[in-house]
Structure 1
């Protein structure tokens, strides 16, 4: 892999870019934009990052970005789904969390390494698989995914603030506060995001430890559960996959400014540990909380009134006023997650339609926030049902995405990052058509749909096996893509 790094920095295309012979960036000369740049706002959008611009050598920041994105209420709430919604025991939920997390985190961790090695944002990198035009379909799905996680974060943070105020502040006001604060961090861009994520995890960790200590005596008071069916076990595994794998569709966004001499292994393990180390224990903590909610009257009452935020506030009730302060810190712990998501949204929006690449990245942060707030207010009305359905659905397309992009990278490009030519990122005729990739994904849904197990639809295969749509998509899309892409290369005589 280190040889790939040497080739990536010595290829003629990269040398041309480094010497200024092929500059992919569009200069933004407007006085307002120049003023923003002087304040430290990142103006570089989704276009390729040239070698000379990849100067960040503080690689540990990659770990902290993922760590801060994960050490908040979102994995806790995801773990609660296993015991509170699926009715699994704490032991079974914990084992599923560990197994599926260890496997599914591989995808975003590896995709993050592609940022430093190629200088391409994740959805721009996807153009080299899905083509100039058809990548818009994937971008739209990714926007829905990232935006959906942002909505979940805003709802959890807003409901927690509402619970702390004993209803004096409604969830709507709390959602607005969380969304606007996240906008401030994401608006500034890559450097500000990395700086924020480097330190924001510490108060979040302290707050979670305090909350666990205050409510820990009730965690052993688990509800009795029946032995789980195989269908239930597999279905909850899909929820964990739906939480972990979608990060792959934004992973390289956080590493494009890393110096290309960094080893692939270093970025991989920083990313893998940053995601895994906080996520597993916090999801298991959430599972323990969810299993105890029906047996603890104050927690049950808090859940009925304010959903997950009410439970957390009830856990901190023994600490009095200090407990309310800690609950506020917990609600703000979600800012790191939302800010990173909004940052990726701004880059994705520039690829949704080709002409949007000329719109400044920061403008889309404002647009997303304006859309996120009303959606979050609506989702707050039936939170856990919305969360469960959302995570289920995104597991399907994201599994297909990582499978197809992975096959393109390892099978057809031989994991050689020099094949991602910066000079053709906006040349439709030089990029793949995208038909093999979209065709493989669409055809895979012919089998995914019968394997789906949703509240609104349960396929005939899922009735017997549980929801195995994620597993089917991961395997079938790869099998289908290989002959389709091979035929395209033979026909076009180019990658």
Structure 2
């Protein structure tokens, strides 16, 4: 009856049919791609072919629930296990004995204790990726707002790039150690950065595939290296018992090492099905992915650092090509096979650099609203182009660069992690539906960010007196050692609660 009354007298189609045809016309402009995303057909042919290989098209846009279908939750473990089962933790561990003058036993206890505690915040934050479908820095908009989030965004990009630099330097040192007369560290940096760029370029699926399997040669190589050179590890420097300032200052470096994952951790779980695993399971996989590879390698680094002054060949190798040189010296007794293992060790950092490039590219895409329309891989190219000259420069004084970098990032990471965790627990009560996808890019609907930024700034009233750096030691730190990251986390959390409550009362919504 309705269709009959709407039909036209000249026999043309009905208005209902016209609407259906228009809908079909609009729908025909879209098609599904292998990566499960919807994309316009208007892509250039070369870009379309790139997407057809399975490359990730989506950048920072929220992933709807219908596209969060990955139930392979174990790759949340392998993602971080592989990226940290490399040479990167070794120089961080070496700082305990070489720079801070601690004994191996004290170093190991500090590493173990601080790792147990500081792996918790980023692992907890990982539950937000699958449950919200939002990248980590996009989630931060629901606390810091659309505009003020630029500050933690830039700090996070600098932090992640810093870790990439350290990884590239260590990998470059390992390659250079094979033929130090003809191959410079700079050449090694370029080699490992190029391979990392290739792994990161394709995006989410390629990264998870790479991280799922490449831990195997890395683990075998590390075991062989320790088996060949471990007989010298007992030759530790004789040092007095560690003081409280030494313990807390080095503990702050360990905190910086782990807490900074809070700025990126959800980037690698936004396509996982939130209904297929409990939050506890996601937390556990992520926590173990951080803890299991890092703690043994940090302790191994402390042992190597304590033995370097006592083993002349290691000392000479360290002076020439850093950590890579020490491993080359450890593997020298097995000749050509040892050089092959050194190459594998150099390539172990690829997984770490690749995920760093991926997250920094996403951060750059968030800087200005128009950049969200630029393909993600373009920013990966930018990160690659910037990283190489920075790595070369940092390699000139890489040990000092590493110490200063790890110390400073712990302060920022403590503030950032505290804000996002309090937001999740106190104000959103773990209800991830409150992270409304409709407002992810709408400044007037998101928080102003004044509460988050205000709490972070206030915390530095105590962080600065609690800092202990080469260039500055605060009055509190003169007695206690560096307690900056602890103060940053606790004070930010305490002040964020009343400030955010006031913001909600004034604006009338989250």
What's the TM-score bracket when you normalise by the shorter of the two chains?
over 0.9
Which residue does the alignment assign to 1:13?
Answer: none
Which residue does the alignment assign to 1:277?
Answer: 292
User: Of 324, 333, 358, which residue of structure 2 is paired with 1:343?
Assistant: 358
Which residue does the alignment assign to 1:30?
Answer: 43
**Offset of residue 296 of structure 1:** 0.2
Assess if the C-alpha contact under 8 Å between 1:42 and 1:189 holds in 2: yes
Once residues 185 and 398 of structure 1 are traced to their aligned partners in structure 2, the CA distance between those partners, rounded to angstroms, is: 27
**Offset of residue 378 of structure 1:** 0.6
Q: Quick one: structure 1 residues 39 and 319, their matched pair in 2 at CA, closer, same or farther if it must change by over 3 Å? A: same
Number of matched pairs: 473
Tell whether 2:86 aligns with 1:85: no
**Offset of residue 81 of structure 1:** 0.9
Which residue does the alignment assign to 1:241?
Answer: 255
Gaps of 5+ in 2: 1-29, 31-36
User: Of 467, 479, 488, which residue of structure 2 is paired with 1:452?
Assistant: 467
Tell whether 2:271 aligns with 1:257: yes
Assess if the C-alpha contact under 8 Å between 1:28 and 1:43 holds in 2: no
**Offset of residue 404 of structure 1:** 0.9
**What do you get for the CA RMSD once the two structures are aligned?**
1.3
Paired residues for 1:281-430 under 5 Å: 281-430=296-445
Once residues 175 and 165 of structure 2 are traced to their aligned partners in structure 1, the CA distance between those partners, rounded to angstroms, is: 15
Secondary structure of 2:50's match?
helix
Which residue does the alignment assign to 1:159?
Answer: 173
Assess if the C-alpha contact under 8 Å between 1:57 and 1:258 holds in 2: yes
Which structure dedicates a bigger proportion of its chain to helix? 1
What TM-score, normalized by structure 2, do the two folds share? 0.91
Which residue does the alignment assign to 1:474?
Answer: 489
Tell whether 2:240 aligns with 1:226: yes
Once residues 355 and 231 of structure 1 are traced to their aligned partners in structure 2, the CA distance between those partners, rounded to angstroms, is: 47
Which residue does the alignment assign to 2:15?
Answer: none
Assess if the C-alpha contact under 8 Å between 1:25 and 1:48 holds in 2: no
**Offset of residue 28 of structure 1:** 7.8
Which residue does the alignment assign to 1:135?
Answer: 149
Assess if the C-alpha contact under 8 Å between 1:25 and 1:47 holds in 2: no
Assess if the C-alpha contact under 8 Å between 1:159 and 1:308 holds in 2: yes
Once residues 250 and 456 of structure 1 are traced to their aligned partners in structure 2, the CA distance between those partners, rounded to angstroms, is: 29
**Offset of residue 25 of structure 1:** 7.9
Q: Quick one: structure 1 residues 486 and 152, their matched pair in 2 at CA, closer, same or farther if it must change by over 3 Å? A: same
Residue by residue, what CA displacement relative to the aligned partner does 1:113-144 show, whole Å, maximum 9, x if unpaired?
A: 11111100000000000001111111100000
Which residue does the alignment assign to 1:10?
Answer: none
Residue by residue, what CA displacement relative to the aligned partner does 1:208-245 show, whole Å, maximum 9, x if unpaired?
A: 00000011000000000112211011000001001011
**Offset of residue 35 of structure 1:** 2.0
What TM-score, normalized by structure 1, do the two folds share? 0.94
Tell whether 2:65 aligns with 1:51: yes
| Higher alpha-carbon deviation: 35-44 or 145-154 | 35-44
Tell whether 2:185 aligns with 1:171: yes
Which residue does the alignment assign to 1:486?
Answer: 501
**Offset of residue 340 of structure 1:** 0.9
Residue by residue, what CA displacement relative to the aligned partner does 1:8-61 show, whole Å, maximum 9, x if unpaired?
A: xxxxxxxxxxxx9xxx98858421332210122111011100111111111111
Once residues 334 and 314 of structure 2 are traced to their aligned partners in structure 1, the CA distance between those partners, rounded to angstroms, is: 15
Which residue does the alignment assign to 1:14?
Answer: none
**Offset of residue 167 of structure 1:** 3.0
User: Of 62, 76, 84, which residue of structure 2 is paired with 1:62?
Assistant: 76
